[in-house]
Amino acid sequence: MYIDTHSQETMEHSICDYLHITKEELLSVFDIAGKAAQTEYYLDNDKFNHVINEFIDSHMPGISIDQILFFHLTRRLNAAQNIYEGNNLADLLTKKNAMSDFLKKHEVEFLLNNGHLDLFYKGSLVSLERTYEENVPYLRARFGYNKGREDYCFNGFLLKDLLYKNNYAHELSDVPEFIGVLATFLNRRDIGTDYYENSTYYCFEYCIPLDKVLFDNNENLSYEEKQKYLLNQIMHRLYDYTVTELRYMFDHDNPILRLKDKDTMKEEYFVSREKITEEMLRQ
């Protein structure tokens, strides 16, 4: 069972159906929470959450939310267009696949070494020890040099409704960030150009078990807490629709989802993919 997070309408319907409430009751709690949290200059998020969470607790049914929709933005190489699983960055760069083949064609290879990724260019190990150099701190972070803070994970978003207004969605329309930084670092602009010309921008939709996902800013939530946090975040978005005109709404508060660093998004969780066009990003 999952909450449909494709649009305002599907979220409203799913929330009301799951909590066994009417749309009028949903709007009523938004009114109560908004008035309780409104100060002279801002909305007190703690007070708003207190009202919303009490409402969720009082209406929580016996059925668990055991799945979650996961929207992953990716500019994917055309050579991998029929691959629907999603690899973590370490596997993507060190195992044979379209990405590692593409990089190898440009004389770039990676090997896993004691938890981090060694970068090889034209057969020689590239040092990432000069942390004062531009782009080196970023590459060290992405390639696992910061022990305990590795960043290999496969990530996505909870909400689809305003996703193409997200700043990250616009940034990814070019090339993956690490490809752009790597091309700049190696002074190989052609790597980025070649990647762009041989790839397509997609939104991949997955439906995965809730226990496999981590909320980026609340990664230590228990299974029960995940369910309530999920409902809380969706209700936050639905509240925004009641107080803000659509043209002024953006996607800066869309909860970021991720898998554990070593996990792979399995093909069995794949639902659909959508090609993202420039027109979609300009809406």
Same domain, 105 and 181: yes
- Give a yes or no: residue 218 inside a domain: yes
Residue 170 lies in a domain: no
Do residue 116 and residue 194 come from a single domain? yes
Alpha-carbon dihedral 249, 24, 159, 242, rounded to 10 degrees: 10
Q: What is the pLDDT of residues 82-101, one digit of tens each?
A: 999 999 999 999 999 999 99
Q: Are residues 84 and 33 in the same domain?
A: no
* Domain membership of residue 227 as a residue range: 8-67+207-270
Tens of pLDDT, residues 241-250: 999 999 999 9
Residue 197 within a domain: yes
Q: Are residues 119 and 223 in the same domain?
A: no
The verdict on 217 and 197 lying in the same domain is: no
pTM of the model: 0.95
Tokens of 248: 């002024």
User: Does residue 168 lie within any of the structural domains?
Assistant: no
Report the relative pairing of strands 67-77 and 116-121 from DSSP bridges: unpaired
Q: 189 pLDDT band (50/70/90 cuts)? A: very high
Quick one: 120 and 147 in the same domain?
yes
How many domains, in total, are found in the chain? 2
The sheet with strand 155-157 has its strands ordered as 214-215, 256-258, 155-157, 67-77, 199-209, 270-275
- Give me the chain's average pLDDT, please: 94
pLDDT confidence of residue 66? 97
